[in-house]
A = this chain, B = another copy of it.
C-alpha cells in the first residue's frame, strides 16, 4: 500500500481580505484541510494557491499529485485555461479530484462534467445542515453514523445542474426548506471525482471532524488504481483469428 500524494489547492483570497474568514482560517482554509490530512501517515500533503506561479500547479507538482483537493469561489475566472486543461487531462489519466463547496463553479469541474455546474439555488444565512448518508456501504462514508450535522452553513439547493452522479453518497437537508445532492462520485477517464458540498468560508466547517473525515475518506477513495494498460488508435485484425479464416 503506497503513500498517497495529496495537493490541497485553495483560491486563498477571502482569508486575506475578510477579517471574519481570516479569524477562522488564519493560514488559509487549505492549511486547515492539509493539517488534518497530515495526521494520516499514508498521506503526503502539500498545498498550492491561486496566486503562486502557475497557480502552484506546475508539471512537477502535478507529476507528484495522486489526489487534488480544490476550493475556489470568487476568482474562478482567474484560473488560467491552460492550467485547467492540464488538470483535466491529469484527471482523465487517473488523478483523483475532490471538489469542495463553491468549487462547483470552478472551470475544472464544469469542463470535466460538461454541464452548467454553477447553476443551483443558494442562501447565505448560516442555517443548519444535515448531510444524510444514502450509501452506507460506500468507503467515503467510513466511520459515520446516520448523518453529519453542521450548525451553520450556507444553503445550496436543488436543482443542481450536474450529470446524475455515478454514485450518490450524501443528501443534505437544510433548515430553510431545501435539499441537495451533497456527495457525488464520478468516474471520468481513469480518474475519480468527488464533489462534497460543505465549506463556506465564513463558517468553521473544515474544523469539524466529521467533515474532515469525509474528505480524508474521499482522498483514499479517489487515489489512482493500478488499473489496466489500454491502447488507442489503429489496430490490426486479430491475427490468430485471421489465421483460421
Contacts and interface: CB of A to CB of B under 8 A. Distances in A.
Interface in A203-233: 224-233
Interface in A61-84: none
Chain A, interface size category, equals 35 or more
Nearest to A172: B179
A168 B45 CA distance: 33
A130 interface: yes
Interface string A144-163: 11100000000001111101
Q: Quick one: copies of this chain in the complex?
A: 4
A32 B208 CA distance: 49
Q: Is the interface of A mostly helix, strand, loop or mixed?
A: loop
Contacts of A192: 137
Contacts of A242: 176
Given A115-B188, A146-B159, A121 B244 contact: no
A179 B115 CA distance: 25
Interface in A155-206: 157-161, 163-164, 166-168, 171-179, 181, 186-192
